[in-house]
Amino acid sequence: MSKIKTIGVLTSGGDSPGMNAAIRAVVRTAIENGLFVKGIYNGFKGLIDGNYIDLNSRSVSNIIQRGGTILKSARCKEFHVKEGREKAFDSLRKANIDGLIVIGGDGTFAGAKVFFDEFGVPIIGLPGTIDNDIFGTDFTIGFDTALNTITEAVDKIRDTAASHDRLFFIEVMGRDSGCLALWSGVAGGAEEIILPESEFRIEQLINLLRKGAQLKKTSSIVIVGEGGGASGKAYKIAKQVCEIAVEFETKVTVLGHIQRGGKPSAFDRVLASRLGVISVYSIISGRSNCMVGWLNQKIEYTSFEKAIKRHSPLDESLLGLYKTLSS
């Protein structure tokens, strides 16, 4: 057993539904095991600034159902340089924090890995991102909620599309991963799904849409994965379609940050709670420099290095499935 007496917990990167459930699980598990817990506001920036708060069981009451993160999140350029990380380490020592639990995506884990390599601070990571792109876990905290948000939006847009015989392009988040696009496309019955991982050809899309029109389809939905984390891809594709296939009346909806918000689903609450509990037992038992994930229905540990360098692959079975069902 390690000599950890006080742990710090922070959320970093983009917020995701379920982060609060993870914080709650970390705090209550730590206290049950005789540890002190300090919440760190604004991610790695809070480490540098010493922006800490003592947390107890009551501090995390009534937050499991809340979206976002009570500890807030922030980008921190200063943490990217050695001098900034030295400030963060000095701040941790002054606060008598012996180890960290960080909740976020691959950018968070990259920062955690460097911090561990330089100063040896015990760190455990929890995968919190709607993108579901972290290697070493089947699902990330927030993905299921975002998926349900997108699916509900697609259902509503299809009502309008069917009423006016329109073609809708709906752009979803995911950065370089098409996981949200693929899953929401299957769930929403999309006619086509454009993924960052796949080559896109405008001619193939137009042929597919024209085939649907010949079959008397009253609406068409095309899900577009943003790719690269920059919005606007759907507008470009819709413009290309209009220039070639003038018979289609097209509309574009970019769902944007609505996908990050809202109450976490039951699945995300359970996943976050499970991983939060295990993260505490992991750090007090001596594990470090790794992420706790849920893989093949069991807890698995993945080094930060692997989690950063490799992305979770798309579900091959879903890739074939949507082609069959969209006809």
Domains of the chain: 6-141+264-309 (3.40.50.450), 143-260 (3.40.50.460)
> How far is 113 from 9, CA to CA, in rounded Å?
16
> How far is 52 from 50, CA to CA, in rounded Å?
6
First CA to last CA distance, the chain: 58
Please say if 159 is a catalytic residue. no
Query: Own/partner pairs for 233-238, CB < 8 Å, 24+ apart?
Result: 233/171, 233/194, 234/169, 234/170, 234/171, 235/169, 237/169, 237/194, 237/200, 237/202, 237/205, 238/169
Given the structure tokens 């309008």, which residue do they identify? 160
Is 175 in contact with 226 (CB distance < 8 Å)? Answer: yes
What local confidence, expressed as pLDDT, does residue 323 receive? 79
> How far is 276 from 270, CA to CA, in rounded Å?
10
What local confidence, expressed as pLDDT, does residue 42 receive? 97
What local confidence, expressed as pLDDT, does residue 319 receive? 85
What local confidence, expressed as pLDDT, does residue 313 receive? 86
Is 292 in contact with 124 (CB distance < 8 Å)? Answer: yes
pLDDT-flagged residues of the chain (< 70): 1-2, 327
Q: Which amino acid is at 187?
A: A
Q: In 3D, which of 7, 9, 17 has the Cα closest to residue 44?
A: 9
> How far is 43 from 72, CA to CA, in rounded Å?
7
- As a dihedral over the C-alpha atoms of residue 185, residue 186, residue 187, residue 188, rounded to 10 degrees, the angle is 50
Q: In 3D, which of 36, 60, 22 has the Cα closest to residue 291?
A: 22
> How far is 110 from 98, CA to CA, in rounded Å?
20
Strands (E), 160-286: 167-172, 192-194, 220-225, 250-254
Which residue among the candidates 106, 131, 133, 268 is catalytic per the annotation? Answer: 131
Q: In 3D, which of 259, 236, 257, 248 has the Cα closest to residue 207?
A: 248
Q: In 3D, which of 84, 39, 79 has the Cα closest to residue 58?
A: 39
What local confidence, expressed as pLDDT, does residue 1 receive? 44
> How far is 269 from 262, CA to CA, in rounded Å?
12
What local confidence, expressed as pLDDT, does residue 2 receive? 56
Q: What is the pTM of this model?
A: 0.95
How far is C-alpha 162 from the chain's CA centre? 31
